[in-house]
Amino acid sequence: MPNAFATGRNSKNAVLCVTEGLLYHSDLTQEELEGILAHELSHVAHKDVQVMTYASLLAIVAGLLGAVRVLLRDLRRGRRGGDNGNAALLIPAHHARLRGRVRDQLPADQAAVRYRELAATAAARCSPRTQAH
């Protein structure tokens, strides 16, 4: 299956992976292959892996803080009311709520990934090597 991707937290640790399917078994011209590689190298140059890791981390921390805040609020309410019989039900309920928050975050993550892909494609088009042909 033809595919290529780049990973690594910075240019010193970057790795560009290309499958044999892309190199030997696809009908791509040399210029098209160079365009794909320029696109992947653009991800490295713009530190996309690092940017997306930090963005995901911030979203996860924000979601967890919100979930803990709500859990603590609900536990305090139960304690004040004197009825702790339902306290054991709070943890699964908050777990389900947290899963919902993570699911709701997916469209924003997908939009960020889509933006980075479009930016990498634009950068590859501006590359002097891909314009030389």
- Catalytic positions, please? 40
Q: CA-to-CA distance for 114 and 106, rounded, in angstroms?
A: 12
Q: CA-to-CA distance for 87 and 81, rounded, in angstroms?
A: 11
Q: CA-to-CA distance for 19 and 9, rounded, in angstroms?
A: 21
Task: Write down the H helix ranges in 12-86.
Answer: 20-24, 30-45, 48-81
DSSP structural state of residue 82: T
Greatest C-alpha distance within the chain: 77
